[in-house]
Amino acid sequence: MSDAVLGDITIDEANDDDREWCAQLMASSEPWLTLGRTIDQTRPLFHREDSELFIARQNGALLGFLLLRDRGIVYSPYIASLAVTPESRGLGIGSRLLDFVEERSRPASNHIFLCVSSFNTRARSLYERHGYTTVGELKDYIIDGASEYLMSKRLR
């Protein structure tokens, strides 16, 4: 992937219009389809006061988002959700969002955490490539027959 393809991508804080787009993307994508999350369940996630929402854009088009809770697990940042539009997957957008939030979190935090569903192997591979390691498994946590893997990365 060349810098020319990804060079003009910006990541910034979401505005109010972005929040509905994020809820719709989440409700229409894996792993949330398998987990049974509806649009009515996803909307409130993007309006929590303890979270920050970042959007990846290219020439005004929304490509993906990352929802961060600054003090999610043991006072460390927790990536509550990351999603990329179907047509933008595999282009490095998820990596850009991870890099952005890790760099932003590094001055104040030693670690960052996230969870990934056991059936979401593509996302788990992305996180492992970025240095995240599994620190725990929550069996049958959201749905029967699937685990949520708690993953961590040391930032400094």
pLDDT at 6 (0 to 100):
59
Residue 141 is encoded by which pair of tokens?
A: 């946590």
Q: What is the dihedral of CA 130, 152, 69, 39, to 10 degrees?
A: 70
| pLDDT tier, 1 (very low <50, low <70, confident <90, very high otherwise) | very low
Q: Give per-residue pLDDT as tens, 3-30.
A: 345 568 999 999 999 999 999 999 999 9
pLDDT at 2 (0 to 100):
35
Q: Mean pLDDT of all residues in the chain?
A: 94
Position with higher pLDDT, 82 vs 8: 82
| pLDDT tier, 36 (very low <50, low <70, confident <90, very high otherwise) | very high
**Is residue 152's pLDDT more than 50?**
yes
Q: Give per-residue pLDDT as tens, 105-135.
A: 999 999 999 999 999 999 999 999 999 999 9
- The mean per-residue pLDDT over the stretch 32-45 comes to 96
DSSP 96-146: HHHHHHHHHHTTT-SEEEEEEETT-HHHHHHHHHTT-EEEEEEETSSSTT-
| Of 48, 44, 42, nearest in space to 27 by CA | 42
Output the CA–CA distances (angstroms, integers) from residue 120 to 40, 87, 109, 130, in the order listed: 22, 18, 27, 16
What global pTM score does this model have?
Answer: 0.93
| Of 138, 9, 104, 69, nearest in space to 82 by CA | 69
Q: Which domains does the chain have, with CATH numbers?
A: 3-154 (3.40.630.30)
Distance between CA atoms of 25 and 12, rounded to whole angstroms? Answer: 18
pLDDT at 3 (0 to 100):
38
